[in-house]
Amino acid sequence: MMQANRLSAARIVIVDDEPANVRLLERILQHAGYTDLTSTTDPRDALALCKETEPDLILLDLHMPHVDGFGVMAELRPLIVDGNYLPVLILTADITPEAKQRALSGGAKDFLTKPIDPPEVLLRIKNLLDTRFLHLQLQNQNLILEEKVRVRTRELEEAKLEILNRLARAAEFRDDATGEHTRRVGETAAALAGTLGLRAAEVELIGRAAPLHDVGKIGIPDAILLKPDRLTVEEFDVMKTHTTIGAEILSGSRFPLLQLAQQIALTHHERWDGAGYPRGLKGEAIPLVGRIVAVVDAFDAMTHDRPYRKALSTPEAWEILWEGAGAQWDAGLVEALASTQAVVKGDADGAALSPTGARRRPAAARSGRR
């Protein structure tokens, strides 16, 4: 069943108060090819010895001073329970059925009476070690399989996220060839969600769903999407459909990540005051994730070059955000973004982020992004 070399390398601990018995067992075992033997004549050392040597088998006497074999088995119980399968073979002069039964139900795997019969001792030792190694082999195979399943699961998860990112890049490739905007919106949305105190799992989900907010742009013609001038009313109506197209592309998924991405795609152009699109939702009727991405998307678009205008400076963008807080955007989220940015940038733009002094111009707030 087992290779001889594995068997002979088995670690065996002998616990017997009688030195002559220990020597006899050692001779029998060595003669049979077992090399890794440890023994003690003091049962009080048994537990420490077993913890130190991590044996494959324990040969245990029953009648010993200080602690008898039953006491030793009770101490060893955590090591010899079935899950660990560390076999104990009792060797004793006590031939009563009661002793045998008590030993076997106390955790011993086998029981032999003294004077011992060397061939039978070796047979039973081999049998116990075979069973021990079978258990270990099964456990080991399961550990390997579990690791493979973990790796496979992680790879699938990574592949899913990578494909989503590439989908977002593909959709925005025409007006954001580097994918930097989608990446930044994901990161900033997650940071903002963190500032709001959302749970870590939600923060992560938002960070991964947010880059897909403009996936519907794949359905917008170049002439409109890339137009350097202001859009006509009709063109703008077409542009607005990137929200519903995105939601359509992402609809019907059973994955929470894509369900969230759909919600973001559909609602990231709604306005706090109800003047947004496509549905004209107002205030908290707009899902939180939609409101988060609305402010993050606008800030990022304003502070970077677009086909229709150059980037604004950070203070200029903040001025627009503070003006639009409570009208275009959820004011609480504008403030949260300010503290998020303050943390991220070490408050380098502290003056610009201050709500006071930046609200001088109640001009109609506009998103830097269409």
Where would I find the beta strands (DSSP E) of 7-48? Answer: 11-15, 36-40
Q: Of the candidates 30, 141, 232, 253, which one interacts with another protein according to CB under 8 A?
A: 141
Report the alpha-carbon distance of residue 33 to residue 99 in Å, rounded.
31
State yes or no: residue 28 binds another protein (CB under 8 A).
Answer: no
Residue 12 phi, psi (nearest 5): -125, 130
State yes or no: residue 1 binds another protein (CB under 8 A).
Answer: yes
Catalogue the long-range contacts made by 165-173 (C-beta closer than 8 Å, 24 or more residues apart).
Answer: 165/211, 167/212, 167/215, 168/211, 168/212, 168/214, 168/215, 170/218, 171/212, 171/214, 171/215, 171/216, 171/217, 171/218, 171/246, 172/214, 172/215, 172/217
Q: Given the rule CB under 8 A, which of 148-156, 170-178, 286-294, 341-349 is the region that contacts another protein?
A: 148-156
- In contact, 318 and 342? CB cutoff 8 Å: no
Q: CA torsion angle for 354, 359, 364, 369 (degrees, to 10)?
A: -10
State yes or no: residue 251 binds another protein (CB under 8 A).
Answer: no
State yes or no: residue 2 binds another protein (CB under 8 A).
Answer: no
Shortest reach from residue 256's CB to another protein, in Å: 21
State yes or no: residue 100 binds another protein (CB under 8 A).
Answer: yes
Q: Of the candidates 148, 166, 230, 309, which one interacts with another protein according to CB under 8 A?
A: 148
Q: Of the candidates 144, 161, 343, 344, which one interacts with another protein according to CB under 8 A?
A: 144
Name the CA radius of gyration of the chain, rounded: 36
State yes or no: residue 3 binds another protein (CB under 8 A).
Answer: no
The dihedral of CA 210, 298, 171, 247: what is its sign?
positive
Cβ neighbours, 10 Å, residue 2: 15
Going by the DSSP 8-state scheme, the letter that residue 255 receives in this structure is S
State yes or no: residue 146 binds another protein (CB under 8 A).
Answer: yes
Q: Given the rule CB under 8 A, which of 15-23, 147-155, 264-272, 296-304 is the region that contacts another protein?
A: 147-155
26, exposed or middle or buried, with CB in 10 Å at 0-12, 13-18, 19+? middle
Give the strand pairing for 11-15 and 88-92: unpaired
Shortest reach from residue 153's CB to another protein, in Å: 8
Q: Given the rule CB under 8 A, which of 93-101, 219-227, 239-247, 262-270 is the region that contacts another protein?
A: 93-101
- In contact, 176 and 220? CB cutoff 8 Å: no
Shortest reach from residue 21's CB to another protein, in Å: 20
Residue 61 CA to chain centroid, in angstroms? 48
Shortest reach from residue 156's CB to another protein, in Å: 8
Shortest reach from residue 108's CB to another protein, in Å: 8
Shortest reach from residue 82's CB to another protein, in Å: 4
Shortest reach from residue 20's CB to another protein, in Å: 23
Shortest reach from residue 39's CB to another protein, in Å: 24
Q: Given the rule CB under 8 A, which of 104-112, 209-217, 244-252, 330-338 is the region that contacts another protein?
A: 104-112
Q: Of the candidates 3, 4, 5, 105, which one interacts with another protein according to CB under 8 A?
A: 105
Q: Given the rule CB under 8 A, which of 3-11, 92-100, 195-203, 306-314 is the region that contacts another protein?
A: 92-100
Beta bridge partners of 110: 89
Q: Of the candidates 23, 27, 66, 152, which one interacts with another protein according to CB under 8 A?
A: 152
Q: What are the tokens at 194?
A: 């963190």
Shortest reach from residue 57's CB to another protein, in Å: 14
Contact residues: another protein, CB under 8 A: 1, 82-83, 85, 97-98, 100-101, 104-105, 108-111, 117, 119-120, 123-124, 126-127, 131, 134-135, 138-139, 141-142, 144-146, 148-149, 152
